[in-house]
Amino acid sequence: MQSWIELIKALIRPFIICWGFVIYGVCVINAMVIPDLLAALIAAAIIEYFGERAVIRLRTPSTTVDTKGA
């Protein structure tokens, strides 16, 4: 069941983000008032996406990279 949830999130999230930014851009270009629900949708998608990435990054052990050479 968890794999289905991840699949749905992977398919739906980019569509919502792209659609939201397109509508947001149209509102900005046409100097229209941006609906509160649209602004909340975009903010929630961005926070959820980057928040999930941050959690994954914090959970994985970090490795140090020797940049000075051998």
Task: Confirm whether 64 is domain-assigned.
Answer: no
Q: What's the Cα-to-Cα distance from 53 to each of 27, 47, 59, rounded to whole Å?
A: 29, 10, 10
Q: Which residue segment(s) compose the domain that 40 sits in?
A: 12-57
Task: Confirm whether 66 is domain-assigned.
Answer: no
Task: Confirm whether 65 is domain-assigned.
Answer: no
The string of pLDDT tens digits covering residues 33-59 is 888 888 888 788 778 777 777 777 777
Furthest-apart CA atoms within the chain: distance in Å: 58
The number of folded domains in the chain is 1
Average pLDDT in the 19-23 region? 82
Task: Confirm whether 48 is domain-assigned.
Answer: yes
**pTM higher than 0.95:** no
Task: Confirm whether 69 is domain-assigned.
Answer: no
Judging by beta carbons within 10 Å of its beta carbon (0-12, 13-18, 19+), is residue 27 exposed, middle or buried?
middle
